[in-house]
Amino acid sequence: MTHQAETIEISCANDMLLTEEMIDFIKTRYEKLLAGELNLVKVSAPVVVPDGTGINDDLDGLEKPISFPVKSLNGQKASIIQSLAKWKRMRLRYYHIGPGKGILTDMRALRPNETLTPIHSVYVDQWDWEKNIKSEERSLKLLKSTVESIYGTFRQIEAELCEKYSFVTPQLPEKIKFIHAQDLLDEYPDLSPKEREARAAKMYGAIFIIGIGHALSNGEPHDGRAPDYDDWSTLNDDGYYGLNGDIIFWNPALESAFEISSMGIRVDRKSMERQLEISGCQDRRDLLFHSLLLEGQLPLSIGGGIGQSRLCMYLLKKHHIGEVQSSIWPADVITQYMGKDVKLL
């Protein structure tokens, strides 16, 4: 190796090490900010759950988890989690957590069927949180106030990061804009859902799209949502369907919309029955999670997930999620970025 090549290699390693240091700062500090703002307690979470219980999520209803037999359980199958929405709600009951309090945990998942892109990886890491609420709190008002609280933590971690590393500059707007998916469709009827997201995100910088999962006036949902965790079929205070949504930033580094969180008020008995029927999933009623909910044995809640790598990627202005997490990539992707100012970990 020539001296020049060695110098370049050392410089690259130093840059990557600094990135790792900044990632650690963001992850360590942010979860404390979020827990304090929402009154959450950090708890441990599973990597696998038993099959046949309904605890694992199928997200938009299409993803399939990795499933395998467990030798010590006489071959009973278990699955790597995809999200913890249902598990967290059961955990609120297990810990006897009352209204106004909740839990926070690290979710680690593998999604082998994910289409790999600069913002999608086989490996998924997010902060999952769930909070017990009263029946009278199941409203658009609570959803919006919670979104504003979470957005405040994003602004806070950005400010602290900029203070610690002077070369980092802030980019989040002062406030987040609330938009219902139907209003987006009405405003941009000729655009696809992702194009509508991009148009609004670029205009406002940070948006919360309400109502993900229910069919809009064109007969199609803005995006898919499983029928048994978020409530997307209840009429909200604005007269639209949906007590859930997505937090989306405009990402200047990528020049695109950038989803950072999916969240919502969770289904109660009536909304889950309705959504199972709409989705043709009535066969889930007898699964453990669903039967507990239908029998009134699970607390009402609001919850969601916040992408850890996504947040780091946004705050550090990275162009590829592989710059903030160790994962696997096709050979052509590795070759594509080799020699560029994109350093895959």
Which residues are annotated as catalytic? 57, 111, 126, 246, 259, 262
Within 13 Å, how many C-alpha atoms sit on residue 78's CB side? Answer: 13
**What is residue 144's DSSP assignment?**
H
Residues 6+ apart with CB under 8 A from 13: none
Q: Which two tokens stand for residue 237?
A: 């205070």
Handedness of CA 164, 170, 175, 178 (dihedral sign): negative
How does 229-258 read in b/e, with b if 16+ C-beta sit within 10 Å?
bbbbbbebeeebbbbbbbbbbbbeebebbb
Q: What is the DSSP letter of 220?
A: S
* DSSP one-letter code for 280: T
Give the single-character DSSP code of 216.
Answer: -
> What's the rounded Cα separation, in Å, for the pair 204 and 207?
7
